[in-house]
């Protein structure tokens, strides 16, 4: 590496290359990504200008806009950091792979015995046999323990060498490739995919959704009809299940009817349909009870929304105007309610609210008549998230590669073992066992200790 640097120091392209293949750049980019990512978890994302001005004031809002902090994970400078990381990964990998390739796929396996024999964690013991028989036994043993054996004689030593896991050196490149694949998948998804939220009332159908980001309409190739929505609760009042029964209609044909639940979406022709929310849709009709507070007489009748009826004794009229899922009364949410218009004879008309949870609400108005909704036909709407993401398979492939790559990189290693057999003057033979690895030396030392014990036992027995 160093020699190369000196040789090519002057050329500008080489300097640029060196800049992009430095690990310093990786570390700085990662630090910047980590630190700036915090911003988006603290500052409100994708809010309205009013929200930002209320929270941070006008001056800071300008700053937020300049740096796109209101959508910072898609801001130009954040994407720039990601691009920088990608270039860094590509350049580093090319540079290193060109160096490591020959190590991973060597024409011939070589080893340097000195490096092994100098190791502090070398195990040495003696046996009462001739060097020849010991060497043969060691060769046999090592090939069973590790793999194919290579031999070498040097000075007084007869060396037996075996290795495994040379290929694991490729693991780190797999990890880095997986990062690129993930980002590629994300890019494909953001260019060719969309996400949209849509509300469908029970009984209704839609074929157009509006993309959340661009607000552009997206025409689906089919209709989605919501037949029914159901919500179940536990005894504790917490929601247990949200379920929508949907029918897909293609070219006028009902092609599929199915239930979707949270965690159980429908995937149809590359479009994913998820259960995301629900609510009460406007209702068409209600059973009204109208009490005359003077005569005490009560009339009960079913009214359609929009219908007007005459009040008794020609005192005026009442029109049922509509339904509200959230009735706001002096800043308090009173829940589901109907509202209507009372027009007393020769007086000004006024509006009244009839919250369903509070049947005595209209009584507090102390008017001539009290209006109460006794029953109504409850209708839900289902909130669906409709998405298309052709990049998701690249992302998933990236996930698989990343896990495999990390596993190989961190938990497997290129290990090599050497047994040096040394005949001594007293007729005995010394055996030295040493090992090397490109990863955890601690684990290798433990392994070596175990191997040394087993090897020694082998000779004791036989």
Partner 1 sequence: MNSSIALSSATFIYGLATVFYIGYFAFKKKMLATAGFFVLVTGFLLNTAGIGLRWVESYQMGYGHAPFSNMYESLVFFSWTMALLYIFVESKYKEQGFGVFVSPLIFLAIAYASFDPSISSKISPLIPALKSNWLIAHVITCFLGYAGFAVAFGFSIIYFVKPKKTTENGVFARLPSWDVIDELTYQMVVFGFLFLTIGIITGAVWANSAWGKYWSWDPKETWSLITWFVYAIFMHLRLMRGWHGKNLALVSIVGFVAVLFTYFGVNFLLSGLHSYG
Query: Contact with partner 1 (CB under 8 A): which of 128, 216, 221, 240?
Result: 240
Residues between 428 and 457 with contacts to partner 1, criterion CB under 8 A? 440-443, 446
242 touching partner 1, by CB under 8 A: yes
Q: Is 168 exposed, middle or buried (0-12, 13-18, 19+ CB in 10 A)?
A: buried
Task: Look at residues 34, 60, 32 and name the one whose alpha carbon lies nearest to residue 47.
Answer: 60
Candidates 2-10, 13-21, 233-241, 331-339 — which segment interacts with partner 1 by CB under 8 A? 233-241
Residues between 378 and 407 with contacts to partner 1, criterion CB under 8 A? 385-387, 392, 395-396, 399, 402-403, 406-407
- At CA 341, angle to CA 340 and CA 345, rounded to 5? 150
Q: Where are the beta strands (DSSP E) in 204-238?
A: 205-210, 217-233
Count CA atoms closer than 13 A to 305's CA, side-chain side. 13
55 touching partner 1, by CB under 8 A: no
Query: Contact with partner 1 (CB under 8 A): which of 50, 98, 219, 236?
Result: 236
**Residue with smaller CB distance to partner 1, 386 or 433:** 386
184 touching partner 1, by CB under 8 A: no
d(CA 409, CA 400): 14
Q: How far apart are the first and last CA of the chain?
A: 50
93 touching partner 1, by CB under 8 A: no
Output the smallest distance, CB 216 to partner 1, in A.
18
Other C-beta atoms lying within 10 Å of the C-beta of residue 425? 5
250-289 mask for partner 1 (x: CB under 8 A)?
A: -----------xxxxx------x-x-x-------------
d(CA 137, CA 153): 16
**Residue with smaller CB distance to partner 1, 290 or 402:** 402
238 touching partner 1, by CB under 8 A: yes
Candidates 34-42, 48-56, 244-252, 360-368 — which segment interacts with partner 1 by CB under 8 A? 34-42
Count CA atoms closer than 13 A to 103's CA, side-chain side. 13
d(CA 415, CA 461): 27
Query: Contact with partner 1 (CB under 8 A): which of 11, 51, 57, 73?
Result: 73
112-151 mask for partner 1 (x: CB under 8 A)?
A: ----------------------------------------
Q: Which residues contact 210 (CB under 8 A, 6 or more apart)?
A: 196, 198, 216, 217, 218
Query: Contact with partner 1 (CB under 8 A): which of 1, 6, 12, 23?
Result: 23
* Rama region for 166: left / alpha / beta (φ>0; ψ in -120 to 50; rest): alpha
Number of residues that bind partner 1 (CB under 8 A): 50
d(CA 309, CA 363): 20
**Residue with smaller CB distance to partner 1, 158 or 414:** 414
Q: Which residues contact 398 (CB under 8 A, 6 or more apart)?
A: 178, 179, 180, 181, 182, 184, 185
Output the smallest distance, CB 126 to partner 1, in A.
27
Output the smallest distance, CB 436 to partner 1, in A.
15
Torsion, Cα 360 361 366 370, to 10 degrees, reads: -70
d(CA 143, CA 163): 9
Query: Contact with partner 1 (CB under 8 A): which of 125, 126, 339, 410?
Result: 410
228 touching partner 1, by CB under 8 A: no
- Give residues in contact with partner 1 (CB under 8 A): 23-24, 26-27, 30-31, 33-34, 37-38, 40-42, 45, 73, 186, 195, 234, 236, 238-242, 261-265, 272, 274, 276, 385-387, 392, 395-396, 399, 402-403, 406-407, 410-411, 440-443, 446
């Amino acid at each position: 590496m160093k020699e190369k640097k000196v040789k090519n120091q002057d050329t500008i392209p080489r300097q640029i290359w060196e800049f992009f293949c430095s690990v310093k750049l990786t570390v700085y980019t990662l630090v910047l990504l980590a630190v700036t990512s915090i911003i988006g978890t603290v500052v409100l994302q994708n809010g309205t200008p009013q929200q930002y001005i209320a929270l941070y004031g006008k001056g800071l809002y300008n700053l937020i806009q300049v740096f796109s902090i209101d959508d910072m994970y898609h801001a130009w400078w954040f994407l720039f950091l990601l691009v920088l990381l990608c270039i860094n990964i590509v350049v580093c990998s090319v540079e290193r792979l060109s160096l490591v390739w020959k190590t991973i796929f060597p024409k011939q396996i070589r080893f340097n015995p000195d490096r092994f024999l100098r190791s502090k964690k070398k195990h040495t013991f003696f046996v009462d046999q001739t060097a020849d028989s010991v060497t043969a036994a060691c060769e046999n043993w090592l090939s069973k323990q590790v793999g194919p054996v290579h031999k070498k004689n040097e000075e007084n030593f007869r060396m037996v060498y075996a290795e495994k896991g040379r290929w694991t050196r490729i693991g780190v490149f797999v990890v880095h490739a997986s990062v690129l694949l993930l980002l590629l998948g994300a890019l494909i998804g953001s260019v060719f995919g969309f996400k949209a939220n849509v509300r469908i009332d029970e009984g209704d159908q839609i074929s157009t959704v509006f993309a959340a980001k661009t607000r552009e309409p997206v025409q689906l190739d089919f209709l989605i009809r919501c037949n029914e929505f159901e919500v179940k609760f536990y005894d504790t009042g917490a929601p247990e299940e949200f379920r929508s029964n949907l029918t897909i209609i293609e070219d006028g044909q009902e092609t599929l009817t199915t239930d979707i639940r949270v965690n159980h979406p429908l995937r149809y022709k590359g479009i994913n349909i998820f259960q995301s929310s629900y609510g009460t849709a406007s209702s068409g009709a209600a059973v009204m009870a109208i009490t005359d507070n003077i005569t005490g007489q009560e009339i009960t009748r079913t009214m359609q929304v929009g219908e007007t009826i005459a009040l008794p004794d020609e005192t005026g009229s009442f029109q049922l105007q509509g339904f509200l899922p959230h009735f706001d009364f002096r800043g308090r949410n009173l829940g589901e309610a109907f509202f209507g218009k009372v027009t007393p004879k020769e007086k000004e008309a006024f509006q009244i609210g009839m919250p369903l949870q509070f049947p005595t609400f209209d009584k507090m108005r102390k008017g001539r008549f009290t209006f109460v909704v006794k029953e109504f036909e409850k209708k839900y709407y289902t909130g669906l998230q409709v998405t298309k993401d052709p990049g998701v398979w690249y992302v998933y492939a990236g996930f698989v590669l990343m896990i495999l790559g990390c596993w190989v990189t961190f938990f497997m290693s290129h290990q090599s073992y050497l047994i040096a057999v040394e005949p001594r003057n007293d007729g005995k033979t010394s055996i030295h066992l040493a090992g090397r690895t490109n990863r955890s030396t601690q684990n290798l030392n433990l392994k070596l200790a175990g191997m040394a014990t087993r090897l020694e036992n082998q000779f004791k027995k036989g």
